[in-house]
Amino acid sequence: MLKPPFRWFTRVEFYLGNPQIDIRIANHLHNLCMYLEPEEFSEVGITSYNFSKREWNKAFCDWLRELSRKGIKIKVVGGPEIEAKKELDELVKEGVVIAKILESPTTFHVVYATKPKQLWIEEYHQKGLPQGVHYTSNPMKEAWNEYLKLFNIYWEEGRGIQ
C-alpha cells in the first residue's frame, strides 16, 4: 500500500499554499467541480478509491467531458474495485479520460491541474464523503512537487483498464 508524504502534516494544519481552503467533509456544497478550474490544454489527474457510482454520476462525467472538449488531458487512477464501470468505460472509449487501475486501493487522494497549478488533497476517502479536504490555487513548490510525485507513483503502479 502506498503511503502519502506525511512530512507535510503538522499537528495543527495541513499546508499546501496560499490561498488555501480547508473543508472538513466534502459534499454537494463543496466538491471538486466547484473548485478545480483548469485552463485549456492543461492536464488534470484524479485519484479515486473505487470509482463510486455516487461520485462518478452524470454531472461529474459531463464535467469531465466539458474539460476534455477544452483540450484538457485527464488521467484517472483508482480501484481495484470499479462501481461505475459502465461510466468509466464510456469515458475511456470516448477518449475523455485515460484510466489506470491499482492493485490495492488508496484512501489518500491527490487531484491536480497543471494550468494554472492547483491541488485538491483528500486526507481520507474510502466510501462515503471525503474527509480532510484541502484545496489551493497557488501551491507551494514543495507541496506541488511532492503530490505530483505521489500521483505519478499511483499512475505507474496502475494497469490499463480492460
| Residues 18-160, CATH architecture | 2-Layer Sandwich (3.30)
Question: What Rg, from alpha-carbon coordinates, does the chain have?
Answer: 15
Q: What is the greatest pairwise CA distance in the chain?
A: 44
Among 138, 136, 121, 112, which Cα is nearest to 21's? Answer: 136
Among 103, 53, 97, which Cα is nearest to 78's? Answer: 103
Q: How far is CA 102 from CA 14, 30, 77, 88, in A?
A: 26, 27, 7, 15
Where do we find the cell 507541496?
143
* Cis peptide leading into residue 80 (ω within 30°): yes
**Spatial contact of 33 and 151, defined as CB atoms under 8 Å apart:** no
Encode burial over 136-146: b for 16+ CB neighbours within 10 A, e otherwise: bbebbeebbeb
pLDDT by residue for the chain (162 residues), tens only, comes to 444 554 444 333 556 777 777 777 676 656 888 899 999 999 999 998 889 888 899 999 999 999 999 999 999 999 898 999 999 999 999 999 999 999 998 888 889 999 999 998 888 777 777 877 888 899 999 989 999 999 999 999 999 886
